């Protein structure tokens, strides 16, 4: 019987120990919730961001409700996506003030209980992002972050950027714009070799991208070919062209209005990515040319690039006389080339293809190259090395045509500097 008695005694001791430990731990809590229900909160008691130390529960409810009412009339919470912004009405928030006070832990920080209309937040987000992104939006995380901000009664905080709540898979799969050169000409081998070594380039958010730093060691024509493709790709976006140059004559293979000259010394193509997320340029060879696609989140607006009618400037003919030719003999020493002027316009469209804005982004001018014709001396004409312009009707018409001088050309760097 002794082993049985010893076991009973041990069991009784264990029960007594558990009892006294439980009383010591639970006692203060029971006292605070029952006996001290009407006493003041101790120092360090905070609900949300509001201190209720030395307040009774009734006083704490009144103070907390006043802070909530003040927040509702002055808080400015917004959702944003690139250039679009929408306000989050404070009426979408429901504050459980009495519940928050009842659940407050004496002497410690506690949570202010807030509820937010999830469906209303989803509807607001759909006003900003493209429909294709709606399924990729992490709505629960967005609602939790907004609710946490409201629980601290933050009035003026930075907007909630929806780009941060869109899954990476949406960014990786979407080509938002493309550019291409279909005929590379003499620089084909050089450009293709560069593409094979540089299949992609990242343009980080809120940064200025310089193409010259990526095409070092190449010929100027090859650099300009790659730059012109990149310029085509970024032009129908919200990117800002900071620096861009053109040549005196349009290189072969580059469409009029889309040239971007880079020489690695004084000329560069620089663009600014105003978005918070990065975009990636991906290059690939296509037939005898190269294609570049810009990958990233779809833009809030649609951008359409249009080139206006080309204005042509016929070249003049400069005549040189020489005694080595017989009277009436002539030949063309240098062929002329007509000048061109084209305006490039960017149109912005919102939801449902609603027209928003239009602006001229460039005026590309290529001056005419005058032809040179060598003629034999007429009888009685003194030989001369001076050049002159013949007074033919064609030349007179040419002289009446106003041709912009080089000083009248728009300065691309100044035009796009922001």
Structural domain total, the chain: 4
Inter-residue contact 225 to 181 (CB < 8 Å): yes
Asked whether the CA dihedral 265, 268, 274, 276 is positive or negative, the reply is negative
Q: Are residues 293 and 308 in the same domain?
A: no
Spatial distance between the Cα atoms of 229 and 289, rounded to a whole number of angstroms: 11
Q: Are residues 141 and 225 in the same domain?
A: no
Per-residue model confidence as pLDDT tens digits over 61-113 = 999 999 999 999 999 999 999 999 999 999 999 999 999 999 888 889 999 99
Q: Are residues 17 and 85 in the same domain?
A: no
pTM of the model: 0.74
Residue 188 inside a domain? The answer is: yes
With a cut of 80, say whether residue 414 has pLDDT above it: no
Domain boundary among 166, 188, 223: 166
Q: 36: pLDDT confidence band, cut at 50, 70 and 90?
A: very low
Q: Are residues 91 and 150 in the same domain?
A: yes
Supply the pLDDT for residue 156: 82
- Residue 330: phi, psi to the nearest 5? -160, 160
Q: Are residues 9 and 107 in the same domain?
A: no
Residue 294 inside a domain? The answer is: yes
With a cut of 70, say whether residue 181 has pLDDT above it: yes
Query: What mean pLDDT comes out for the span 293-321?
Result: 92
With a cut of 90, say whether residue 290 has pLDDT above it: yes
- 365 three-state secondary structure: strand
Domain boundary among 255, 277, 300: 300
Q: Are residues 157 and 229 in the same domain?
A: no
Q: Are residues 145 and 175 in the same domain?
A: no
Residue 412 inside a domain? The answer is: no
If you write DSSP's letter for every residue of 285-303 in order, what string do you get?
A: EETTEEEEEEESSPPSSEE
Per-residue model confidence as pLDDT tens digits over 102-153 = 988 888 999 999 999 999 999 999 999 887 788 889 999 999 999 999 999 9
Q: Are residues 179 and 148 in the same domain?
A: no
Q: 9: pLDDT confidence band, cut at 50, 70 and 90?
A: low
Q: Kindly state the tokens that stand for 121.
A: 């937040």
Residue 417 inside a domain? The answer is: no
Q: Are residues 264 and 316 in the same domain?
A: no
Q: How many CB atoms lie within 10 A of CB 121?
A: 20
Q: What is the mean pLDDT of the chain?
A: 84
Residue 413 inside a domain? The answer is: no
Q: Are residues 179 and 295 in the same domain?
A: yes
Inter-residue contact 240 to 359 (CB < 8 Å): no
Residue 350 inside a domain? The answer is: yes
Residue 414 inside a domain? The answer is: no
Percent of the chain with pLDDT over 70: 81
Please name which of 244, 261, 256, 265 lies closest in space to residue 411, comparing C-alpha atoms.
Answer: 244
Domain boundary among 147, 166, 185: 166
Residue 199 inside a domain? The answer is: yes
Per-residue model confidence as pLDDT tens digits over 342-386 = 999 999 998 888 999 999 999 999 999 888 888 888 765 555 544
Q: Are residues 50 and 132 in the same domain?
A: yes
Please name which of 35, 48, 25, 65 lies closest in space to residue 104, comparing C-alpha atoms.
Answer: 48
Q: What is the extent of the structural domain holding 246?
A: 171-300
């Amino acid at each position: 019987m002794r082993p049985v008695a010893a076991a009973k005694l041990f069991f009784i001791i264990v029960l007594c120990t558990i009892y006294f430990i439980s009383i010591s731990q639970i006692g203060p809590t029971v006292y605070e919730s029952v006996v001290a229900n009407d006493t003041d909160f101790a120092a360090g008691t905070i609900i949300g961001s509001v201190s209720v130390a030395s307040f009774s529960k009734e006083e704490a409810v009144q103070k907390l409700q006043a802070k909530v009412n003040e927040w509702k009339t002055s808080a400015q919470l917004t959702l944003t996506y690139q250039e679009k912004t929408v306000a989050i009405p404070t009426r979408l928030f429901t504050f459980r003030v009495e519940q928050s006070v009842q659940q407050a832990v004496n002497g410690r920080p506690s949570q202010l209980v807030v509820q937010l209309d999830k469906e209303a937040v989803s509807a607001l987000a759909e006003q900003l992002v493209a429909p294709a992104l709606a399924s990729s939006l992490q709505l629960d995380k967005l609602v939790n972050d907004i609710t946490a901000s409201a629980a601290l009664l933050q009035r003026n905080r930075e907007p909630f950027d929806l780009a941060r709540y869109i899954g990476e898979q949406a960014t990786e799969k979407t080509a938002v714009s493309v550019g291409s050169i279909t005929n590379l000409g003499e620089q084909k081998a050089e450009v293709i070799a560069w593409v094979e070594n540089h299949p992609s380039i990242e343009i980080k958010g809120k940064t200025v991208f310089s193409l010259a730093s990526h095409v070092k060691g190449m010929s100027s024509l090859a650099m300009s070919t790659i730059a012109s493709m990149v310029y085509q790709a970024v032009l129908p976006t919200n990117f800002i062209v900071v620096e861009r140059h053109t040549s005196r004559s349009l290189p072969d293979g580059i469409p009029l209005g889309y040239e971007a000259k880079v020489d690695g010394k004084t000329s560069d193509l620089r663009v600014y990515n105003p978005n918070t997320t990065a975009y990636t340029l991906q290059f690939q060879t296509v037939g005898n040319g190269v294609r570049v696609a810009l990958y990233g989140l779809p833009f809030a607006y649609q951008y359409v690039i249009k080139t206006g009618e080309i204005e042509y400037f016929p070249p003049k003919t400069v005549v040189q006389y020489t005694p080595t030719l017989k009277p009436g003999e002539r030949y063309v020493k240098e062929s002329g080339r007509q000048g061109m002027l084209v305006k490039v316009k960017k149109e912005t469209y919102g939801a449902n293809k609603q027209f928003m804005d239009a602006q001229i982004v460039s005026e590309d001018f290529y001056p005419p190259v005058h032809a040179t014709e060598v003629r034999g001396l007429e009888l009685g004409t003194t030989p001369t090395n001076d050049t002159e312009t013949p007074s033919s009707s064609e030349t007179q018409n040419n002289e009446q045509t106003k041709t912009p001088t080089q000083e009248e050309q728009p300065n691309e760097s100044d035009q796009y500097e922001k």
